[in-house]
Amino acid sequence: MTVSGSLFTARFRRPRSLARRSFAAAAFAGAAFAASSSAHAGGVNDPNCRPTALRPYPAVVVHGQAGNFEGMGAILNTLSGAGYCVYARNYGHVPGGANGQDHLSTSAGQIGAFVDEVLQRTGAPRVDVIGHSAGTGVLDNYVLKKGGAAKVHRFVSFGGLHHPYAHFGAGKFLDAGLFLPNVTLTARKIYPGFSVQQVVTAAVNAYAAAGSPLGIIPPELVATAESNFTSDLFDPAYWKDLHGSLSENDGTLVTIGSGKRSLPTNDSAPNVCYTNIVAIADLVTGVEAGFQDEASNVDNYLLLSALTQNAHVDMISDPIALAKMVSGLSAPCSGRGVKTAAPAAPSETQVAKNKEAVEVLTHAIENGEGGDGTNGGAPEASGAGADAGGCSASHQSPTGTGALGIGLGLVAAACVRRRRAR
């Protein structure tokens, strides 16, 4: 089904089951496929729906990277059943790629045009927005950079991309968040001419050498790694422009266990009220990425259910998460005063891990792709036997998480480093 930019050319159909979806596509951090195949969301994009006194704000739902709005069935059904006028469209499609893989700013422009059409059609003063994964990053760009703050009432995120951290837990980097813009800044200290895309390419080379079975990179991973979306994740200029500053000090790559960012940023609009839901079992989006700085208009909620291997996807059909979404949209919204977050001081463990992470990144770049754009000699995995010594599949991101798959492969590079040390 093709969805155009026009509001009512898009029609909802029953989502396909996960069993029929691409295994690899579901493994990426930005994927927003629904866990339920039984949803039938009548009333989505209904041209005759009008807001009521109880539900005065239409709900606009935004899927994640490589997803589609059809895969958001449980959210769409819940909102429709709660009496909302519900609207959704696909966005960010790139030729030869998938939805949601264009630049966040480009995708935000498409969502902004869609919101304008919803407001014109319904006569509502503002909308409520709901985003999953990378869809949250798109909505942030719309709210903070494209005038969306004047048109959005409440904002609910599921496993959101408010900040550019990859969440992973493996080996030496247990329960860690990797701050992606500083990966680029650190790489440029090694090779001053390094582009964002070269940083990603070096990471993919490391992933091929150690993180992917037999050194084979799945085609879907290559497409995601080469996408405009992934470039934005690693681009410090993008995040400085969005938030006014970065949320980590220069040289900080890894956050360990604290679940807090080091520096406050302008990551929320004062007149928009936020509910951020992050699943405790989500190995794609940790609280560093999915929570915003504490403020009176921000409700950061840690979801203790959705305890599955694929929690990043499964959370969007979790009953508790869905109930939190509805309650968040229904809560009074008065805007915020002064932010209440305090910067988190780095622990000794974090300082040590950051030093090691820089060493790992240096190795990955020097053995991946040089600053001149030529391919270097990335160590090759020695077949199945390469799993010995702590680099087995059990130490990689499990199915459906793929935090490293969207761009870095830092743990994979650490595996290479450990093998070389033996």
Q: For the whole model, what pTM was predicted?
A: 0.75
Q: Which residues contact 285 (CB under 8 A, 6 or more apart)?
A: 29, 133, 159, 160, 161, 167, 278, 312
Domain annotation covers residue 402: yes
Domain annotation covers residue 197: yes
Residues 119, 84, single domain; the answer is yes
Local structure of residue 210 (DSSP, 8 states): I
Q: Lowest-confidence range among 73-82, 90-99, 190-199, 394-403?
A: 394-403
Rounded CA-CA distance 331/342 in Å is 25
Rounded CA-CA distance 140/269 in Å is 9
Rounded CA-CA distance 236/240 in Å is 6
Residues 201, 87, single domain; the answer is no
Tell me the C-alpha to C-alpha distance, in Å, between residue 323 and each of 136, 143, 149, 159, 303: 19, 24, 25, 15, 11
Name the token pair of 365: 């770049």
- Tell me: pLDDT of 184 over 50: yes
Higher-pLDDT residue of 76 and 397 is 76
Which residue from 206, 208, 190 is spatially nearest to 362, judged by alpha carbons?
190
Rounded CA-CA distance 399/24 in Å is 9
Domain annotation covers residue 352: yes
Give the confidence band of 87 by pLDDT, cuts at 50, 70, 90: very high
Residues 266, 120, single domain; the answer is yes
Rounded CA-CA distance 256/169 in Å is 10
Hey, what's the torsion of the CAs at 76, 289, 411, 180, to 10 degrees? 120
CB atoms within 10 A of CB 150: 11
Domain annotation covers residue 170: yes
In DSSP notation, 275-313 reads: EEEEETT-SSS-HHHHPPPP-TTEEEEEE----STTHHH
Residue 203 burial (10 A CB sphere; 0-12, 13-18, 19+): buried
Query: Look-up: residue for tokens 């996408």?
Result: 227
Q: Report the share of the chain in percent with pLDDT over 70.
A: 63
Residues 367, 241, single domain; the answer is yes
Q: Please calculate the CA angle 348-302-282 and round it to the nearest 5 degrees.
A: 75
Higher-pLDDT residue of 116 and 305 is 116
Check which CATH number belongs to the domain holding 156 and give it: 3.40.50.1820
Domain annotation covers residue 335: no
Domain annotation covers residue 221: yes
Hey, what's the torsion of the CAs at 392, 394, 400, 404, to 10 degrees? -50
Phi, psi of 107 (to 5 degrees): -60, -40
CB atoms within 10 A of CB 245: 12
Domain that includes residue 409, residue range: 165-255+345-421
Rounded CA-CA distance 194/114 in Å is 36
Residues 126, 52, single domain; the answer is yes
Domain annotation covers residue 338: no
Rounded CA-CA distance 422/417 in Å is 9
Which residue from 255, 422, 207 is spatially nearest to 353, judged by alpha carbons?
255
Residues 396, 360, single domain; the answer is yes
Averaged pLDDT of the chain:
74
Q: How many domains does the chain have?
A: 2
Residues 227, 281, single domain; the answer is no
Residues 115, 125, single domain; the answer is yes
Tens-place pLDDT, residues 278-333: 999 888 888 999 999 999 999 999 999 988 889 999 999 999 999 999 999 999 88
- Tell me: pLDDT of 212 over 60: no
Give the confidence band of 353 by pLDDT, cuts at 50, 70, 90: low
Amino acid type, 98: A
Model pLDDT, residue 203: 65
Rounded CA-CA distance 355/231 in Å is 24
Model pLDDT, residue 357: 66
Name the token pair of 2: 């093709």
Name the token pair of 399: 């199915």
Residues 286, 376, single domain; the answer is no
Domain annotation covers residue 48: yes
Residues 146, 276, single domain; the answer is yes
Question: SS3 for 222-249, per residue?
Answer: HHHHCCHHHHHHHCHHHHHHHHCCCCCC
The pairing of strands 254-256 and 176-179 is antiparallel
Residues 73, 217, single domain; the answer is no
Residues 246, 293, single domain; the answer is no
Rounded CA-CA distance 265/247 in Å is 6
